[in-house]
Chains A and B, each alone.
Chain A
């Protein structure tokens, strides 16, 4: 019997200590039947990548409010490429200006959800964009 579950790593890179948004998302994904690995605050790109490997996740959700996204996100994407982990869907949320969103999407972040996004939309996005066996 096959019983697959979508596994999502919710990580907060960078130095800001606001994880309310990340927790709301984690809860919404849980209620949508996903297994959410919540890693806590102040994660380095290395920690995020390593946790994603060990937990064998389908999705990495990055939450950032510090403004360091243009510095941290590209690093994470680059590391994923180096380790040939591009099959993982990377999405992000937080306070991110529109001009940066276009740039980040070009780099490989599949979608960016800004404050006020309906959590249903995020669940839908994940479900339609990953293939779980």
Chain B
């Protein structure tokens, strides 16, 4: 049986191996992704984002358990930051998902962001695809703990859940641009703490200001993840949102944008690879030195390197 057949049969080892390949050596993984692509598109992709410590892993864990009661298959991509210095990472989201580990219909993969900004890793979209092809009904993408502008999750998810908690700052925080704008559903977690009603009022106010002719009004839900409080109500809202997105054509539009982004990203990546293939490290180093010593400027350097690039590209075409 081929690797992609094994993946489609849900073999977790093959899935895990291909994810590693995607992360380490995308070129070699591409033929397999190509084969799998036609089996993708069935899973609903849920982005779970929010600040560090707001309870993203716990909410993911509890929603997954809820889905398992309905016999749905779940994939989880849990992203944590990588060190900008060593490149290493501590991936600790599994701590909150221990009981899910031995459930054969749940597949969890911890991923280091590996220098990618925006709350995801570069490989996230491909990992979604692999889990989709293995037959998962729902795929959670749990982002790194985000601040204000890490909004890449919106580009790979069908629905975004923004998990916040009381006590994060004054009311101006919620009307700032960025992260607060991307939630389809707001989850006020740790709502047993002081200030949760105030936070809800502030988010309501912000959403109210948003209202133009948007038909979906993001609901704001209270949860206490660790106690499993509010999870079933939250899931009902996710279902409602899914129906709305499908019927309004918004889901199609989001997926269309996602596909566009995927093509563009792949294109960019292949040019990047070509850059290093056509321009030697020494040649690049030479330009760096020149610019550094004020013998030249970076704009000229790019022009020169582009000339070499084009020449090599032309030669390749022959």
Chain A interfacial positions (CB closer than 8 Å to B): 1-5, 7, 26-27, 29-40, 43-44, 46-47, 50-51, 53-56, 133
Contacts and interface: CB of A to CB of B under 8 A. Distances in A.
Contacts of A50: 12, 101-102
Interface of B: 12-13, 15-17, 19-20, 23-26, 82-83, 85-92, 94-95, 98, 101-102, 107-110, 112, 114, 273, 276
Contacts of B12: 50, 53-54
Contact of B19 (A3, A38, A56): A56
B88 A37 contact: no
A35 B23 CA distance: 12
A35 B88 CA distance: 5
Given A5-B24, A43-B98, A54-B108, A27 B90 contact: yes
Contacts of A34: 88
Interface SS of A by simple majority: mixed
A1 B112 CA distance: 17
B24 A40 contact: no
Contact of A37 (B26, B94, B98): B94
13 contacts: A2-B24, A3-B114, A4-B25, A31-B83, A36-B88, A38-B95, A39-B98, A44-B102, A50-B101, A51-B94, A55-B16, A55-B109, A55-B110
A40 B94 contact: yes
B224 to A, nearest CB: 21
B101 A36 contact: no
Contacts of A36: 88-91
Contacts of A3: 23-25, 114
Contacts of A4: 24-25
Contacts of B90: 26-27, 30, 36, 38
B101 A47 contact: yes
Chain A CB within 10 Å, residue with most, of B83, B91, B98 = B91
Given A5-B23, A32-B86, A56-B19, 4 more contacts: A30-B86, A31-B83, A47-B102, A56-B17
A54 B107 contact: yes
A40 B96 CA distance: 8
